[in-house]
Chains A and B, each alone.
Chain A
């Protein structure tokens, strides 16, 4: 707390301003909240870091926003059949689906790095 006070006091005397976290950088500018950043991050297990899949599941990064919403709403209302995604889509609110669409549309598409395999060393 002491450090915070010190920092604010120091900062009051300067005018240089930089963002302190990712939320404060691009996402706030696009109105993407922490809540959506963390929710979107939980999609990574199947769809890869920032929606860049290593294959076998769709890449969500830079996906067209309207297409994302159309698919997710279809999974949610049952008009599009799915194997797994209806179990997620039905659990999400409409506004969360829209916000996730915005989030993923803003992510840069790239080839994700494969996790670095290493032969088993026998220590554990």
Chain B
């Protein structure tokens, strides 16, 4: 038997799986294969990925790496560059610029030999395994949807559609800069009001971090100003004790936190909000809208939980509506925080599962992964929440393992760790 030099020495112990993989590859790579296959068919099929954020781009990279290039990957992404949501609140606080958070896709494309289509998906034809783009269409063997979140303005009384001077700034980009400029233009003594939607929403601690960042800016440059948080939730949804340390400590007299304060009525002209308890007028208003799965997942009929989120199998991230379509990142229904680290961890489990499925072998039935999330309370100090999650087959969900938890307080050291985190996750995703 003629053996390739890469063949593992432990072939006999590494089982049928190796054999199946080898014969499939051998069958298509050998010169005896039919001409049509040699010309066009990637050995392990074609995966189309919709969305090149943390989830989609990570899935693309690891699909290529772990299939040793035997899966062809095409990414469909309308945006020209990658903008990091993590640390975008620091642009509001003044310690980061948007340029710091902006990246080219070029290196990842080249490094992993990704097919790239700068376009948006307008429809998914699940029966025929085809996506429609604004220009043309694409066939797939497996589809990965990583569209992030969409905003639901229909749930905001008085603001049924976006309003130009009331930014959400909940996807990093132009609106982040707009909100920063509004804060800069606001006179000292002004009121910044931020509304938080009922969960689940992208980045659970994000709104509270934002409040701290704005307060950090006010404290230095506009000490007579206030931050009012109107939270539709019953309580602070993440790192509660830690954020309270800041609200009641460094930012006492600046930040006011009001729970159970969903919007009853919003007057966009006067930027006035009525809640169950009060009426608040803003000088700068930041409405973080209620959220749901990205549009492409909704239109494909895959948002089967409250017509908002997508139910998936956590061993493969295949949709429970159609198993040829995988969904990763913020669009899924899960008891998991919608974070960048979570999106990349899900993407890796999904990529490994697709390599296995396309190789004809069963995916890992018990995935385990980690999540670490940092929040900055000023320009230097940060705090974390960190957990290991493992799949529980009885509950059919990812369950937080014993021993996870949060910092005792925000520190400079954790601020340094948070900077290391962001450099490393950017490198992992974008190179």
Q: Which residue of A lies closest to B41 (CB)?
A: A3
Q: Which of B80, B411, B423, B424 is most buried by chain A, counting CB atoms within 10 A of its CB?
A: B424
Residues of A within 8 A of B423 (CB): 54-56, 114-115
Q: Which residue of B lies closest to A119 (CB)?
A: B99
Q: Is the CB of A53 within 8 A of B424?
A: yes
Q: Is the CB of B431 within 8 A of A21?
A: no
Q: Is the CB of A124 within 8 A of B369?
A: no
Q: Is the CB of B2 within 8 A of A116?
A: no
Contact of A26 among B8, B24, B177, B341 (CB under 8 A): B8
Q: Is the CB of A124 within 8 A of B427?
A: no
Residues of B within 8 A of A4 (CB): 24, 360
Known: A11-B23, A34-B364. A83 touches B68 (CB 8 A): no
Q: Is the CB of B41 within 8 A of A28?
A: no
Contact of A17 among B22, B83, B369 (CB under 8 A): B22
Known: A56-B419, A120-B98. A19 touches B25 (CB 8 A): yes
Q: Is A42 an interface residue (CB 8 A)?
A: yes
Q: Is the CB of A96 within 8 A of B368?
A: yes
Q: Is A109 an interface residue (CB 8 A)?
A: no
Q: Which of B25, B41, B107 is most buried by chain A, counting CB atoms within 10 A of its CB?
A: B25
Q: Which of B2, B26, B107, B403 is most buried by chain A, counting CB atoms within 10 A of its CB?
A: B26
Q: Is the CB of B368 within 8 A of A35?
A: yes
Q: Is B416 an interface residue (CB 8 A)?
A: yes
Known: A35-B364, A46-B424. A7 touches B81 (CB 8 A): no
Known: A29-B14, A115-B429. A19 touches B103 (CB 8 A): no
What sequence of 0s and 1s flags, for each residue 14-41 of chain A, a beta carbon within 8 Å of any chain B beta carbon?
1111111111111011010111011101
Contact of A90 among B41, B104, B404 (CB under 8 A): B404
Residues of B within 8 A of A45 (CB): 340-341, 344-345, 370, 372, 421, 424-425, 428
Residues of A within 8 A of B70 (CB): 20-21
Q: Is the CB of B420 within 8 A of A56?
A: yes
Known: A24-B8, A55-B423, A86-B403. A16 touches B33 (CB 8 A): no
Known: A6-B27, A19-B22. A121 touches B102 (CB 8 A): yes
Q: Which residue of A lies closest to B83 (CB)?
A: A124
Q: Quick check: which of B212-220, B255-263, B267-275, B383-391 contacts chain A, the rest being far away?
A: B383-391
Q: Is the CB of B99 within 8 A of A18?
A: no
Q: Which residue of A lies closest to B102 (CB)?
A: A120
Residues of A within 8 A of B163 (CB): none
Q: Is B188 an interface residue (CB 8 A)?
A: no
Q: How far is the CA of A78 from the CA of B178 in the complex (A)?
A: 46
Q: Is B430 an interface residue (CB 8 A)?
A: yes
- Nearest chain B CB to A122's CB is how many angstroms away? 6
Q: How far is the CA of A6 from the CA of B384 in the complex (A)?
A: 52
Q: Is B366 an interface residue (CB 8 A)?
A: yes
Q: Is B153 an interface residue (CB 8 A)?
A: no
Q: Which of A16, A42, A88 is most buried by chain B, counting CB atoms within 10 A of its CB?
A: A42
Known: A21-B359, A124-B171. A112 touches B427 (CB 8 A): yes
Q: How far is the CA of A35 from the CA of B280 in the complex (A)?
A: 51
Q: Which of A10, A28, A120 is most buried by chain B, counting CB atoms within 10 A of its CB?
A: A120
Residues of A within 8 A of B431 (CB): 49, 112-116
Q: Is the CB of A89 within 8 A of B427?
A: no
Known: A21-B68, A88-B370. A124 touches B174 (CB 8 A): yes
Q: Is the CB of A38 within 8 A of B24?
A: no
Q: How far is the CA of A33 from the CA of B6 in the complex (A)?
A: 17
Contact of A120 among B99, B348, B349, B420 (CB under 8 A): B99
Known: A8-B23, A45-B372. A54 touches B18 (CB 8 A): no
Q: How far is the CA of A18 from the CA of B1 in the complex (A)?
A: 12
Q: Is the CB of A42 within 8 A of B14?
A: no
- Nearest chain B CB to A28's CB is how many angstroms away? 4
Q: Is the CB of B404 within 8 A of A87?
A: yes
Q: Which residue of A lies closest to B352 (CB)?
A: A38
Q: Is B190 an interface residue (CB 8 A)?
A: no
Q: Is the CB of B23 within 8 A of A57?
A: no
Q: Is B200 an interface residue (CB 8 A)?
A: no
Contact of A43 among B3, B366, B370, B401 (CB under 8 A): B370
6 intermolecular pairs with C-beta atoms under 8 Å apart: A25-B8, A38-B367, A46-B420, A49-B431, A87-B405, A115-B426
Q: Which 9 residue pairs of A and B lie closest in terms of their CB atoms, listed nearest first?
A: A90-B403, A56-B420, A91-B388, A91-B401, A7-B27, A11-B23, A29-B8, A20-B21, A11-B27
Interface residues, chain B, with chain A CB atoms under 8 Å away:
1-4, 6-10, 14, 17-18, 21-30, 32-33, 41, 43-44, 62, 65-68, 70, 79-81, 83, 98-104, 106-107, 171, 173-174, 177, 340-341, 344-345, 348-349, 352, 355-356, 359-360, 363-364, 366-372, 384, 386-388, 390, 400-405, 407, 411, 413-414, 416-417, 419-421, 423-431
